[in-house]
Amino acid sequence: MKIDGKATRTIWVEADGATVGIIDQTLLPHRFVAAKLATLDEAAHAIKSMQVRGAPLIGAAAAYGMWLALKADASDEALGHAYTVLHATRPTAINLKWALDEMMAAVRNRPRAERALAALTRANEIAEEDVAINQAIGRNGLKLIEAIAAQKKNGACVNVLTHCNAGWLATVDWGTATAPIYMAHDKGLPIHVFADETRPRNQGASLTAWELNKHGVAHTVIPDNTGGHLMQHGLVDLVIVGTDRVTAQGDVCNKIGTYLKALAAADNNVPFYVALPSPTIDFTVSDGVAEIPIEQRGPEEVAMMTGKTLDGRIETVQVVPDGSPVANYAFDVTPARLVTGLITERGVLKPDRAALKAAFPERA
């Protein structure tokens, strides 16, 4: 998508042909800084520290991390080590394992001398595929927005609520939840987004708001607890969120707090859609609550907040009392029964086993 008119992606191979460029998302929204990854360890650190984050981008970054590793050492041992190191970075987004398995399949049976080039080729393909998939998600989700817009009186705008950042910053480009929104906006449909701030890391306030702002999409940042109130008052037409893993039966794992939004949506008859690329489907698990590992991150993410002071300095402050224990579960699971539909690159699906299997037989 565009930043101040310049087409930009979240990850790219640098002109030196040897390193990988990323946007350091830990510094947004107040500083836009690109960083270079030159080694396996730097790629792993970028994923773990959330310089890059969002399920599809984690997958793409891991793919390029494999390339960086194989460029330095193409032995079987190095290949296995790179897989293990990258796989350990974040446990919940299944796109990570999917991308690593794709990379393994692309290089494993090749002579050592060919492995690095094969890895770069497959990593580039994974990045391009992500862009194409998200565009297809956008086209499919756009139809839902258009149907709602057609029922509005006097051209009133469609209000979408989203949680966390499933925008282009979470993918290689376009985003998943945001792809239909950008397409609606670009087509001239009146659209407005409520962006949940998404404590503790504030991906909604820091990232979703930043990218919607850069693209000129009308939006309002709301505290995480506001969505239910807005829905009770008819101010939300639909919810669209992203996901880190969808199970074979259609349960949806996404950023902590998504489940509460789904409950509020169900209670208020607000359609609750989940946008996902097929690499986010994990056909090996069924019951998301019981089977998906939920990442727990450091207490400092809850206890501390970083922001810009009135005089323009970036400061980190503590927001809980000294000594108070905190819990930091990064994701939760929304059962399929609360999901209206899954917006995929192959259409809007019912959140159930039969529909997922029929749409993606090669994965099932």
- Which residues of the chain form contacts with ligand MRU (CB under 6 A)? 53-56, 93, 164, 166, 170-171, 175-176, 203, 242-244, 254-255, 330
HSE (side-chain half, CA atoms, 13 Å) at 94: 23
Q: Give the shortest CB-216-to-ligand MRU separation in angstroms.
A: 21
Q: 264: burial class by Cβ within 10 Å (0-12, 13-18, 19+)?
A: buried
Residue nearer to ligand MRU on the CB measure, 107 or 177: 177
Question: One of 173, 244, 251, 282 is an active-site residue; which one?
Answer: 244
* Distance, CA of 343 to chain centre: 14
- Decide if 43 contacts 49 (C-beta within 8 A): no
Q: Give the shortest CB-176-to-ligand MRU separation in angstroms.
A: 4
User: Which residues have C-beta within 8 Å of that of residue 67, sequence separation ≥ 6?
Assistant: 20, 103, 116, 119, 120, 123
- Closest CB to ligand MRU: residue number: 242
Residue nearer to ligand MRU on the CB measure, 19 or 165: 165
Q: 20 in helix, strand or coil? A: strand
Residue nearer to ligand MRU on the CB measure, 203 or 278: 203
Q: Give the shortest CB-325-to-ligand MRU separation in angstroms.
A: 22
Q: Give the shortest CB-93-to-ligand MRU separation in angstroms.
A: 6
Q: Give the shortest CB-173-to-ligand MRU separation in angstroms.
A: 11
DSSP category for residue 206? I
Residue nearer to ligand MRU on the CB measure, 9 or 53: 53
Residue nearer to ligand MRU on the CB measure, 106 or 130: 130
Residue nearer to ligand MRU on the CB measure, 116 or 204: 204
Which amino acid belongs to residue 84? T
Is residue 76 part of the annotated active site? The answer reads no
Which strands form 281-282's sheet, in the order they lie side by side? 281-282, 245-247, 252-255, 331-334
135-133-45 Cα angle (round to 5):
110
Q: Give the shortest CB-133-to-ligand MRU separation in angstroms.
A: 11
Torsion angle of C-alpha atoms 93, 97, 100, 102, degrees rounded to 10: -110
Residue nearer to ligand MRU on the CB measure, 106 or 211: 211
Q: Give the shortest CB-255-to-ligand MRU separation in angstroms.
A: 3
Residue nearer to ligand MRU on the CB measure, 175 or 227: 175
> Using CA atoms, how far apart are residues 351 and 16, in angstroms rounded to an integer?
44
Q: 113: burial class by Cβ within 10 Å (0-12, 13-18, 19+)?
A: exposed
Q: Give the shortest CB-288-to-ligand MRU separation in angstroms.
A: 14
Q: 278 in helix, strand or coil? A: helix
Q: How many CB atoms lie within 10 A of CB 205?
A: 21
CA-to-CA dists, residue 343 to 129, 229, 247, 355, 356, angstroms = 17, 25, 14, 12, 11
CA-to-CA dists, residue 273 to 268, 330, 355, angstroms = 14, 20, 15
Which residues are part of the catalytic machinery?
244
